[in-house]
Structure 1
């Protein structure tokens, strides 16, 4: 957005990260109530990417009153949520009209956070429910090269995912054509078993495919296990129809090929 004349400010807790924002031409804002409240007095658009924790939504806890005061002056607000709000559908399809029935603690916190943001009067809120995010520095290649990638096999398990560049493209489209009060799923066109993604990454690298491990025999962190508690295919049709744009990376194969090309450039 910067090359198009937008002035961007962003929060960070760590001073080193604020220095990095400044170096990128972004106005750094300390993660304090006073600093964020001051920034909100001149803001026209607000993007919230901070996830909830056991205490609730951190942004609203920090400066909820300032956000409520700024709400009528904003032309757009976006909240980045997760497709985890839909819960487990045993591989079936979900869309924005599907009931929110999360099966995990993280999903339940997101449903509560969405409701908190929706309850703010006069806030031009857009909710974006993101599938699993991948992109530069956030993909399977490093683990495949290191020999630490695992192909966990769980019968019927599928995930939806989204390249970070496609998230940015749809956020920009929404900023340019606000539709307050709506929720959108952001994901690609190819929900797939996670073991297929690892196998394809290995194939692109010309490395042996990691052996499959039955789900029942695999060891997980609590976070990793929570991902396998839900299986669903997520529809992105509403976002496509509303904003009139397709995906730069409609499948994980397109996205992984592009990431590898960027690495080798």
Structure 2
């Protein structure tokens, strides 16, 4: 964070001002940066996005007044998923972005789905991608398109492959209290998670240490079954966890089913050695305990 604080005050623009980007935008605003972003619908209520200028971008047509809105942007985070026609930001605004006079850094938020199923093996960023789903294949193509769009320029593009995101407002504690928590039992299935604020720390560290074309696994230090997290959250709340549901009989969305179809553990050494980041929440235990403490303090 000291390195980020030493940067000249910049202007962050987030294509896709969702859970992760809204938290990041508020954080840099507190450090006297400008921050803005896009949503499909500007009028959509979002507590996390309060105080952040929002512009409409559906991904189906160009953003209105793009040149004016982006004129002073120095840093961009792209989090909108690609569709059948590729990355919507590059599709409509690649030329606009390449012409920005002050742009220095781009972070593309991707997914470990680009690796495909590794049957529980540890995956490093240098391992060859092998997506086993349409979603993974589209993300891999978008990663490469973002990097190649700025090859030979002064703009540094980094790719961040984010594991399962949780944080305040989106976590197992609140799912249990709402009665929506489920334990899907698929023996041997594990995956990593990452606290939303650790994502922000990693992105900010990369802004201070840009490296064009570099890829980072963004994950905690403990891949485990989803039931482990639910059971721990239930223990913190003094509740009984829900009964496990066998994977083969579980009602899952196509996205969730594709997620459970793959199993891997992410190597995260690069965020430490290259970006100098030590996670505030190295496992779900620290993360959930902090969320519960904050929930109780606010009650």
Where on the TM-score scale, by shorter chain, does this alignment land: which range? over 0.9
How far is the alpha carbon of 1:246 from its aligned partner?
Answer: 0.4
Normalised to the residue count of structure 1, the TM-score between the two structures is 0.92
- Structure 2 partner of 1:209: 241
- Structure 2 partner of 1:35: 65
Count of residues paired in the alignment: 263
- The answer to whether the aligner puts 1:143 opposite 2:170 as a matched pair is no
Q: Distance in 1 between the 2:50 and 2:171 partners?
A: 26
Normalised to the residue count of structure 2, the TM-score between the two structures is 0.82
- Structure 2 partner of 1:90: 119
- Structure 2 partner of 1:115: 144
Q: Distance in 2 between the 1:209 and 1:18 partners?
A: 32
Structure 1 SS opposite 2:262: coil
How far is the alpha carbon of 1:135 from its aligned partner?
Answer: 0.6
Q: Distance in 1 between the 2:46 and 2:290 partners?
A: 30
Indicate which of 250, 255, 264 corresponds to 1:223: 255
Structure 1 unmatched ranges of 5 or more: none
Q: Distance in 2 between the 1:196 and 1:20 partners?
A: 29
Q: Deviations over 1:206-262 (max 9, x none)?
A: 111211222122221111101101100001100111111200000011111111111
How far is the alpha carbon of 1:164 from its aligned partner?
Answer: 0.1
How far is the alpha carbon of 1:102 from its aligned partner?
Answer: 1.1
Indicate which of 266, 272, 275 corresponds to 1:243: 275
Q: Distance in 2 between the 1:217 and 1:175 partners?
A: 45
Structure 2 SS opposite 1:8: strand
- Structure 2 partner of 1:14: 41
How far is the alpha carbon of 1:69 from its aligned partner?
Answer: 2.4
Taking only aligned residues, the RMSD between alpha carbons, in angstroms, comes to 2.0
Q: Distance in 2 between the 1:254 and 1:38 partners?
A: 43
Compared CA separation, residues 18 and 228, structure 1 to 2 (3 A):
closer
How far is the alpha carbon of 1:96 from its aligned partner?
Answer: 0.5
Compared CA separation, residues 253 and 18, structure 1 to 2 (3 A):
closer
- Structure 2 partner of 1:160: 192
Structure 2 unmatched ranges of 5 or more: 1-27
Q: Deviations over 1:40-87 (max 9, x none)?
A: 3221111111111222211112212212323x7421111111111111
Q: Deviations over 1:182-210 (max 9, x none)?
A: 11111000111111111111111111121
How far is the alpha carbon of 1:4 from its aligned partner?
Answer: 2.3
- Structure 2 partner of 1:233: 265
Q: Distance in 2 between the 1:22 and 1:218 partners?
A: 34
- Structure 2 partner of 1:133: 165
Q: Which runs of 4+ in 1 moved over 4 A?
A: 17-23
How far is the alpha carbon of 1:173 from its aligned partner?
Answer: 1.0
Compared CA separation, residues 247 and 19, structure 1 to 2 (3 A):
closer
Q: Distance in 2 between the 1:23 and 1:213 partners?
A: 38
